[in-house]
Amino acid sequence: MSENLPEAHGASHGTDVATHGDPFADPGLPAHEPRRTDIDERAAKRAERQVSLLFVVSMLATVGFIASYASIDADKIVYIFPLGHVSALNFALGMTLGVALFCIGAGAVHWARTLMSDHELPAERHPIEADDDVRNDVIEQFKTGAAESAFGRRKMIRNTLIGSMALVPLSGVVLLRDLGPLPEKKLLHTGWVEATANKPIKLVNMNTDQPMKPEDIVQGSLTFAKPEGLEESAEDFQQKIAKDALMLIRIAPEDIKDTKSRDKGFEGILAYSKICTHVGCPISLYEQQTHHALCPCHQSTFDLADGARVIFGPAGHPLPQLKITTDEQGFLVATGDFDEPVGPSYWERPR
C-alpha cells in the first residue's frame, strides 16, 4: 500500500500520458487522515456508547411493537396532529417498527463511520476479456466438439432439428387457446339486442330500480338507466352493465342540432351509451348549460345536443345512441339495440 502514497511514486504514477513535470499528472492516493475517534480514546468510547444506545432503543421499540399489537384495538381511531384521524394500531405498529429498524441501521452505519478502519485501499482491476491463449484454446475445443458431433456434415439432421425446435414452442401457444372464447360477434351487441318492436324492454332507473315515464326526466338533469330484468344480483351483472349502461338527458327539442339524434329520442329525451368510446370509462359529468358530457378519465368531451360528437379529447367517435319511445302504459322503452357497438373501438368494429 505504501507505494500509493504520494512520496513513494512521484508524479508520473498512474496515467499513461504523464511525463515528468506534467502539472496534470496523477499525484497518487492522498495520505490517510485520522479521525477523532482514531486518536482520542474518549471520543471512541463515546461513539461506542452511542452505537449501543441505538441498538437498545431498537430493542425497546420492538417490545413496544409487540405491546401495541396485543393491546390496541384494530378499529380504534385517534386524532394525531398534523395527520388527522388515523388508525391507532397502524400508527403505533408503524412507528415502533420504523424506530426498531431505523436504529439498527443507524447504529451499524455510525459504528462503521466512527470505529471501523477508514483506510482507503486500492485493489487492482483485471480486464474482463480473456487473453488470446485462453480464447484460442476454447475455440479449438469447441471446434473439436462440433466436429465430433458431425453437426455440420449431417445436413439432414441439422435441418430437421432446427425445424422441430422451431415448431415445438407452438404447442405452448396453442395451449393458451382455452384461456377465453373467440371474439366472434360478442362486442357487436349489448343486452338491448333482446328488445324488439313487439317485445320492447323498459328503461329502469339505476338508483330506484323503477321503470321511468318521460315526465320523470327533468330538463337539464342526467339520469342513469339499465334494461329491465338486469338485476344487480345476477351472475354476469358486471359484464352486462359494462355495455348496457345508459345515460338519459332531456334537451328542449329545438336545441337538438342533429335531427337524426332528435328522432331517436322521445320528446327531447335522448339515451346515450354511458361507456366512453375512448377506452371505456363510464361518463359521469354533465354540463346542463352546454349539454356537454365529460369523461373523467381522459377528458373526452361529447356534445349531447349534436349527436354526442367528440368536441375535445382523445375519443375517436361519438357515443352510440339508443332509439327510445314509450309503450302503451307510457313507460320509456327501447325496441332494439344500439346501431353500433358501444365502448372502445377495435379492429373488427364496423364504421
Partner 1 sequence: MSSASGTNSASKPASTRAKPANKAEAAVDWVDGRLGLYSLAKANLRKIFPDHWSFMLGEICLYSFIIIILTGVYLTLFFKPSMAETVYHGTYLPLNGIKMSEAYASTVNISFEVRGGLLIRQIHHWAALVFVAAMFVHMMRVFFTGAFRKPREINWLFGFLLLCLGFFDGFFGYSLPDDLLSGTGIRFMEGAILAVPIVGTYIQMFLFGGEFPGTDIIPRFFTIHVLLIPGIMLGLLVAHLILVFYHKHTQWAGPGKTEKNVVGMPLMPVYMAKAGGFFFLVFGIIAAMSAIATINPVWAYGPYRPDQVSTDAQPDWYMGFAEGLIRFMPGWEISVWGGHTLNLGVFIPLMIFPLVLVAIAVWPFIESWVTGDKREHHILDRPRNAPVRTAFGAAWIALYLVLLVGGGNDLFATHLHMSINTITYAVRVGFFVVPVLTFIVTKRWCLGLQRRDKEKVLHGRESGIIKRLPHGEFVEVHTPLAQKDLHTLTAHEQPQPLELPAETDENGVARKAGVITKTRVKLSEGFYGEGNQIAKPTTEEYHEITSGHGHH
Question: The cell 375535445 sits on which residue?
Answer: 312
64 is a contact residue toward partner 1 (CB under 8 A): no
Closest CA to 342 of 280, 271, 268: 280
Work out the number of other CB atoms within 10 angstroms of the CB of residue 243: 21
Among positions 99, 222, 293, 333, the unique one binding partner 1 when judged by CB under 8 A: 99
181 is a contact residue toward partner 1 (CB under 8 A): yes
Torsion of CA 30, 34, 36, 40, to 10 degrees: -160
Subset of 217-276 contacting ligand FES (CB under 6 A): 276
CA 159 from chain centre, in angstroms, equals 44
Q: Which is nearer to partner 1, 190 or 261 (CB)?
A: 190
Among positions 13, 281, 323, 345, the unique one binding ligand FES when judged by CB under 6 A: 281
Among positions 8, 40, 69, 130, the unique one binding partner 1 when judged by CB under 8 A: 69
H or E segment to which residue 341 belongs: none
Q: What angle do CA 85, 91, 93 make, to 5 degrees?
A: 155
248 binds, among partner 1, ligand FES, none (CB under 5 to 8 A by kind): none
Minimum separation from the CB atom of position 320 to ligand FES (A)? 14
Are 324 and 206 in contact by the 8 Å Cβ rule? The answer is no
233 binds, among partner 1, ligand FES, none (CB under 5 to 8 A by kind): partner 1
Q: Which is nearer to partner 1, 104 or 193 (CB)?
A: 104
Q: Write b or e for each residue in 275-284: b if 16 or more Cβ atoms lie within 10 A of its Cβ, otherwise e.
A: bbbbeebbbe
Range in contact with partner 1 (rule: CB under 8 A) among 155-163, 264-272, 312-320, 323-331: 312-320
Among positions 12, 57, 78, 94, the unique one binding partner 1 when judged by CB under 8 A: 94
257 binds, among ligand FES, partner 1, none (CB under 5 to 8 A by kind): none
280 is a contact residue toward partner 1 (CB under 8 A): yes
Cβ-Cβ contacts under 8 Å for 224 (sequence gap 6 or more): 205, 206, 207, 245, 246, 247, 248, 274
Subset of 244-273 contacting partner 1 (CB under 8 A): 245
Reduce the DSSP state of residue 271 to 3 states and report it: strand
Range in contact with ligand FES (rule: CB under 6 A) among 30-38, 150-158, 245-253, 279-287: 279-287
Alpha-carbon torsion 311, 312, 315, 320, what sign? negative
Are 319 and 337 in contact by the 8 Å Cβ rule? The answer is no
H or E segment to which residue 143 belongs: helix 132-149
104 is a contact residue toward ligand FES (CB under 6 A): no
300 is a contact residue toward ligand FES (CB under 6 A): yes
Subset of 140-169 contacting partner 1 (CB under 8 A): none
Range in contact with partner 1 (rule: CB under 8 A) among 39-47, 156-164, 254-262, 341-349: 341-349
313 is a contact residue toward ligand FES (CB under 6 A): yes
Among positions 83, 156, 167, 197, the unique one binding partner 1 when judged by CB under 8 A: 83
Minimum separation from the CB atom of position 35 to partner 1 (A)? 13
CA 161 from chain centre, in angstroms, equals 42
Q: Which is nearer to partner 1, 161 or 285 (CB)?
A: 285
As a whole number of angstroms, the longest Cα–Cα distance in the chain is 108
Q: Write b or e for each residue in 20-51: b if 16 or more Cβ atoms lie within 10 A of its Cβ, otherwise e.
A: eeeeebeebbeeeeeeebeeeeeebeebeeeb
29 binds, among ligand FES, partner 1, none (CB under 5 to 8 A by kind): partner 1
Count of residues in contact with partner 1, rule CB under 8 A: 106
* Whole-angstrom distance, CA of residue 308 vs CA of residue 290: 12
Q: Which residues bind ligand FES (CB under 6 A)?
A: 276, 278-281, 295, 297-298, 300, 313-315
